[in-house]
Amino acid sequence: MPYPLNIYGFPQAILHLDANAFFASVEQAVNPELKGKPVVVGKERGIVTAVSYEGKALGIKRGMTIVEVQKKFPKTIILESDYERYSLFSLKMFDILKKICPVVEEYSIDEAFADLQGLRGYLHLSYEEIGSKIKEDIKSTLGITVSIGISLTKVLAKIASNHRKPDGLTLISGREIHHYLKDLPVSEVWGIGPQRAALCEKLGIYSALDLASASEEFIKRHFPKPVYEIWLELRGIQVYPVVPFTKDKYKSISKALSFHPTQDIEFLLAQLSFNLERACFKARQYGLLAKGVIIFIKDEEFQTQSLEIKLSHPSAYPKEILPLLKEGMDLIYREGIKFRQVGVILTDLISESERATQLHLFRVNPSSTDKDLKSLYRAVDKINIKYGRTTLVHGVSLPVTKEKPLKKGSSLRIPFLSVRLS
DNA sequence: TCTGGGGTCCTAGGACCC
DNA sequence: TCTGGGGTCCTAGGACCC
């Protein structure tokens, strides 16, 4: 098993931190009475979004319906999720991590990577001691446990943190890699999903070690680039860097909702319009404008069709964009076929300030309609933030809001906006 | 759990241009 | 006018992640 690099120690190291059953753990930390008991989060959605380890031991899994849990495991404590609380814990958890290792990539609400290169000498601690310290600090401060993996690359660090949990600490050095890959199904490697796993199997690759042991030439011939990168990472060669910037800019913003399959074009357009409104609302909240919009529809067989529309100027205003989407919809809608989802993606996002600079550069004054739109939507946003997101919608979107009417809601049409009064 | 929503990145094929 | 090769850019659709 040739591992050409990094077998003599740890010239570089990446740490992966994974909070265990995060949402449920936070609830248990906040309310000590829940400790040691099966706890499930997700009451408001009707399906399980997180399960405490006590619940997992009983056999409760993510995605189960709440009703099923109540019936089969009546002693389970079922809670609504509280994202603000989880975000706060997440923030504090990452702060603790950053205090010890400054180069941190916040990967998701409950996961992070850290670059440990050079830290041993600086902290006078071994990698193992660094990992232990992080775990202890998080446990004593926040009352939750995390699993930590340390290895040469992100992919290996992921495997390490996953190796023992909850509350695990696993180091994988270069010369130990094959021990950890030997019995690991290839489908459990980060970046190998169902499709690539199936391709692996067809080629006689079953374990992560099978993949790592294949020749470079073989990998390049049979797999797309991402798998080649994973192959390198499995062999201890860093491809994916730790990116320590907090993501504050979106590259795209999408909104889509599923519904019972239908061919009712009015309804599909309403969905499209409603999704556009939601996406634009989010873009405006972030001060972003889109230069392009993609619309997509999924039929009953989950086949997707999409169409990209370029905007003549950056916008986050449904009034301007909607007519174009209607035209686009005509192009991808097929008569006699039922669809289960339509969605929009705002792409090529730029910030409003960039837009302003561009206007300045080209000595173009924002037209009065531009300003009107801006102030109109500013007012709309204000109302929707205060009274609920479907208080003010475009008339076209109305069939969607009718689908789930607000209590005591009635509606009133004004030229292109509809007002729901409650 | 045959399929929830919101993201990112990759790729194959066509258009267009020397 | 036709043929050929090669680069770049764009678009639609996949695949994967949490």
Tell me which of A27, A106, A111, A266 is the catalytic residue.
A111
* Alpha-carbon Rg for chain A in angstroms: 25
Is the confidence at residue A419, as pLDDT, over 60? no
> Closest nucleotide to A256's CA, by C1' atom?
B5
The CATH number of residue A255's host domain is 3.30.1490.100
Query: Is the distance from CB of A242 to CB of A115 less than 8 angstroms?
Result: yes
- Please report residues contacting nucleic strand C, using a CB cutoff of 7 A: A 107-111, 158, 189-197, 292, 294, 296, 303-308, 310
- The boundaries of the domain holding residue A286 are 251-419
- Each residue's pLDDT tens digit, A115-128: 999 999 999 999 99
What's the pLDDT band for A364 if we cut at 50, 70, 90? low
| Residue A76 near residue A83 (C-beta atoms within 8 A) | no
Q: Is residue A141 part of a domain?
A: no
The verdict on residue A104 lying in a domain is no
The answer to whether A76 and A40 are in contact (CB under 8 A) is: yes
Distances (CA, A) of A111 to A97, A170, A177: 11, 16, 22
Q: Answer yes or no: is A130 within a domain.
A: no
A111 catalytically annotated: yes
The reply to whether A326 falls in a domain is yes
Q: Provide CB contacts within 8 A for A132, sequence distance 6+.
A: A169
3-class DSSP assignment, residue A356: helix
Q: From the Cβ of A250, is strand B under 7 Å away?
A: yes
| Contact between residue A340 and residue A263 where contact means Cβ atoms under 8 Å apart | no
Higher pLDDT, A41 or A381: A41
Confirm whether A23 is domain-assigned.
Answer: no
Closest to A160 in 3D by CA, of A204, A116, A121, A194: A116
How far: A16 CA to B9 C1' (Å)?
Answer: 21
A10 close to A175: Cβ distance less than 8 angstroms: no
Domain count across chain A: 1
Name the nt closest to A225 by C-alpha to C1'. B10
Neighbouring residues of A152: CB distance < 8 A, sequence distance ≥ 6: A6, A10, A12, A13, A14, A172, A173, A174, A177, A236, A237, A238
Mean pLDDT of A130-156: 97
Q: Are A38 and A73 in contact (CB under 8 A)?
A: yes
Q: Which residue is nearest to nucleotide C18 (CA to C1')?
A: A108
For residue A407, pLDDT over 60 is answered with no
Nucleotide nearest to A49 (CA to C1'): B4
The answer to the question of residue A225 being in a domain is: no
Question: Is A57 domain-assigned?
Answer: no
Least confident range from A4-13, A18-27, A243-252, A277-286: namely: A4-13
**Model pTM?**
0.84
* A352 domain residue, yes or no: yes
CA of A141 to C1' of B6 (A): 31
| A266's tokens | 């009015």
Residue A180 and residue A209: Cα distance in Å, rounded? Answer: 8
pLDDT digits (tens, 9 = 90+) for A16-27: 999 999 999 999
CA distance A409 to A398: 12
